Amino acid sequence: MRRSVVFIAIFTLALALGGGTFVYMHYFAPGATFRDCPDCPQMVVVGGTAFLMGSPESEDGRDLDEGPQHTVTLQRFAAQTKQVTRDEFARFVTATNYAKPQTCATTDPAGWIGETRGAIWDGPGDRSLPVACVTWYDAQAYVHWLSQRTGRKYRLLSEAEWEYLQRNIKKPDNAMDNAFGVEDISGARPEWLADCHDRVVNGEYVDDYRGAPADGAAWETESCAERVIRGGYKYTWRDLRPASRDSDDPAQRYDDLGFRVARDLAF
């Protein structure tokens, strides 16, 4: 909080002296953390870079939709250090009078149970835990509200951004936190991402990376039956590989599926 206050004071002075752009670029250097308001999500800056996305044909556990491997050049962006919490989502619901669901698909260690009435994100328990039982559309409504509230461009992570974060975990045996300070990137709940999974490219149905954007932007299409899901905490090593992909109906709710936000850093 002190860092944010200091930045506001320095930034205001720098604007008066004509040096606002320099101060802004310095403050949003890779690794810097910030909040756009006292109760906004904490964000960390991730520097622009190029990396190889997808898996090689020789990788154990590989699915066909993980190829072809391709180079992606990411622009600088900010990622939420933690997944959106129940408390953060509740502030959005209260502020917008957003409708609460009545059911959610629940799971246990043995697998999927089915639709359970009353198993919603606003149930009893720790409000600091990641929110779940939210659809892709719920997540989009949240980032739209946060953008309006702050005047900044918030959104869901693209699939390329998420994979880059996952490929930079601190330790080979710990998929929880990465080198940028993004926590639980593959060790908490699976996360909704912005991208459409199934697309039509040049008249052909594809669910892999043929024709994928080279700049790491989310892959959109006019009609999208399934949105990409990444990450998780109770799956096998095969599912926790950086290139592993999943998807589902964007209107579906699961008790183990949440999201985190990203923010553009254009001045």
Q: Express each pLDDT in 194-208 by its tens digit.
A: 999 987 777 778 889
Q: Map tokens 């790491």 to a residue.
A: 216
Asked if residue 157 has pLDDT above 80, the reply is yes
Domain boundaries, the chain: 1-30, 40-264
Task: Please name the fold of domain 40-264.
Answer: paralog of FGE (formylglycine-generating enzyme) (3.90.1580)
For residue 94, count CB atoms less than 10 angstroms from its CB and return exposed for 0-12, middle for 13-18, buried for 19 or more. exposed
| Percentage, residues of the chain above pLDDT 70 | 80
Max CA pair span of the chain: 63
37-41, 44-48, 182-186: which range is least confident on average?
182-186
**Predicted pLDDT at 163:** 96
Q: Map tokens 């959106």 to a residue.
A: 84
**Predicted pLDDT at 154:** 98
Tokens found for residue 93: 């619901």
Please tell me the total number of residues recorded for the chain in this structure: 267
The SS3 of residue 220 is: coil
Asked if residue 112 has pLDDT above 80, the reply is no
- For the segment 169-182, the average pLDDT, to the nearest whole number, is 68
Q: Phi/psi of residue 256, each to 5°?
A: -125, 20
66-75, 118-127, 254-263: which range is least confident on average?
118-127
pLDDT band at 6 (very low <50, low <70, confident <90, very high): very low
